[in-house]
């Protein structure tokens, strides 16, 4: 990625403030002649992350920031925040990245409550794709949580904030035995500071995230970090189905597998979890084929008098959109929270009908799976 000059960008409103840096809305300046590398970004939705002046002289923080830049440069993926380059301005490191305007999964849970399980299936599918890309490049995120899952307005999930990520191709910047991460989402081996952690710590955190998306609460409810650590190390996680009755068994089971205390008992990798999400999408008809152009089309066919609902007559569905109905429901929620108009406006009655049909599909699947075969 090219070296960029901060003077080529106009910084706007503050989008976020973290422990070591501030993120600004940004755009390429049009009032001066800018370098070609900056001009190539004209018209893009941009943000600039800049180190706080107070910590710019801390060598460890500088090293982590540079490491984050190098990691993001390697991880070019649709479900990872885009990186466009960076540099130094008066001793302060900065980099330019993709601006994402739909908020975060954390924002969505806090404003609207738990997410419908078809939405969670689609979010999980996207996050797993990002995690598999990172793990393939030797990068362990180590801080996967709802606040680091950013959303575009059309419901694309973007994994961000690689500030404490472990790059297995370089020396670890964390002293052996120290714990890094967010207490509510840390795997047991992360808590104990083991030196040989793998991408399976991210799968554990993914299980915590999925549980929270579905239930609106965290897996463990300790009042302080000591209690949380003890629960992550020794307590069995509750089944999300005990809190949310309409969650399919397959989804509840894969979450339990991700939350296994031993890494060996968790899924093989993120791709395996993604495969389960695709299977759930296929089984419960969450895909949208060529004949279904809106999220409410299934409801229209079923209750609009056009034809009776026949799950065996659904159109062929490509592998990439087997959870599309979940994505479109998520898009509706994002637009409602932001006060915008969705790409394809969806009446409330259609959403309610869709949810009812999905629940009916779950019930039918349970009935038929329990039927004797001849």
For the four alpha carbons of 24, 27, 31 and 36, in that order, the dihedral sign comes to positive
What pLDDT score does 213 carry?
98
Range of weakest confidence among 52-66, 193-207, 350-364: 350-364
pLDDT tier for residue 306 given thresholds of 50, 70 and 90: very low
Per the CB < 8 A criterion, the answer to whether 305 and 130 are in contact is no
Express each pLDDT in 229-262 by its tens digit.
999 999 999 999 999 999 999 999 999 999 999 9
The DSSP string of 252-321 is: HHHHHHHT-SSGGGS-S-HHHHHHHHHHHHHHTT----TT--STTHHHHHHHSSSS---GGGPPP--GGG
What the block records as the tokens of 167 is 């790059």
What pLDDT score does 352 carry?
47
Express each pLDDT in 261-292 by its tens digit.
999 999 999 999 999 999 999 999 999 764 45
DSSP structure class, residue 241: G
Express each pLDDT in 323-347 by its tens digit.
999 999 999 999 999 885 444 444 4
Q: Is the pTM of this model over 0.85?
A: no
Q: Is 45 a catalytic residue?
A: no
Express each pLDDT in 92-101 by its tens digit.
999 999 999 9
Express each pLDDT in 139-154 by its tens digit.
999 999 999 999 999 9
Q: What's the mean pLDDT in 118-147? A: 97
The active-site residue out of 8, 143, 202, 252 is: 143
Q: What's the mean pLDDT in 164-174? A: 77
Per the CB < 8 A criterion, the answer to whether 196 and 172 are in contact is no
Give how far Cα 364 sits from Cα of 50, 196, 214, 257, 277, Å. 53, 45, 22, 25, 19
List % helix, strand, coil for the chain (3-state, nearest 5).
45, 15, 40
* Mean pLDDT for all residues in the chain: 85
pLDDT tier for residue 105 given thresholds of 50, 70 and 90: very high
Half-sphere exposure in the Cβ direction for 202 (13 Å, CA) = 30
Statement: residue 370 has pLDDT above 80: no
User: Regarding predicted confidence, which is higher, 60 or 26?
Assistant: 26
- Structural domains in the chain, CATH included, are 6-98 (3.30.200.20), 105-283 (1.10.510.10), 297-369 (no CATH)
**With pLDDT > 90 as the criterion, what percentage of the chain qualifies?**
68
What pLDDT score does 141 carry?
96
Q: How far apart are CA 184 and CA 221, in angstroms?
A: 8
Statement: residue 307 has pLDDT above 50: no
């Amino acid at each position: 990625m090219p070296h960029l000059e901060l003077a080529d960008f106009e910084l706007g409103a503050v989008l976020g403030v973290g422990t070591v840096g501030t993120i600004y809305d940004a755009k390429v300046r049009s009032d001066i002649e800018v370098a070609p590398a900056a001009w190539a970004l004209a018209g893009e939705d941009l943000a600039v992350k800049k180190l706080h002046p107070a910590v710019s002289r801390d060598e460890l923080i500088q090293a982590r920031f540079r490491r984050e830049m190098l990691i993001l440069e390697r991880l070019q993926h649709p479900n990872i925040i885009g990186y466009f380059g960076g540099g130094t301005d008066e001793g302060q490191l900065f980099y330019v990245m993709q601006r994402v305007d739909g908020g975060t999964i954390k924002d969505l849970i806090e404003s609207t409550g738990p997410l419908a399980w078809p939405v969670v299936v689609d979010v999980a599918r996207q996050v797993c794709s990002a995690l598999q890309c990172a793990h393939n490049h030797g990068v362990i995120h180590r801080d996967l949580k709802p606040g680091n899952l950013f959303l575009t307005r059309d419901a694309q999930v973007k994994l961000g904030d690689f500030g404490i990520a472990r790059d297995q191709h370089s020396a670890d910047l964390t002293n052996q035995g120290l714990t890094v991460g967010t207490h509510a989402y840390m795997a047991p081996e992360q808590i104990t500071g083991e030196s040989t952690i793998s991408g399976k710590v991210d799968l554990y955190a993914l299980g915590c995230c999925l549980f929270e998306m579905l239930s609106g609460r965290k897996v463990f409810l300790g009042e302080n970090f000591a209690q949380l650590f003890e629960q992550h190390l020794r307590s069995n996680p509750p089944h999300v189905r005990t809190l949310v009755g309409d969650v399919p068994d397959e989804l509840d089971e894969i979450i339990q597998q991700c939350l296994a205390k031993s890494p060996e008992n968790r899924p093989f990798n993120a791709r395996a979890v993604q495969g389960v999400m695709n299977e759930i999408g296929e089984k419960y008809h969450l895909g949208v084929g060529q004949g279904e152009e809106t999220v409410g089309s299934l409801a229209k066919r079923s209750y609009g008098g056009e034809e009776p609902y026949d799950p065996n007559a659904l159109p062929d569905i490509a592998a990439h959109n087997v959870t599309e109905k979940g994505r479109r429901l998520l898009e509706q929620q994002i637009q409602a929270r932001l006060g915008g108009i969705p790409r394809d406006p969806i009446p409330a009655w259609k959403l309610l009908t869709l949810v009812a049909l999905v629940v009916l599909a779950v019930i039918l699947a349970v009935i038929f799976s329990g039927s004797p075969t001849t």
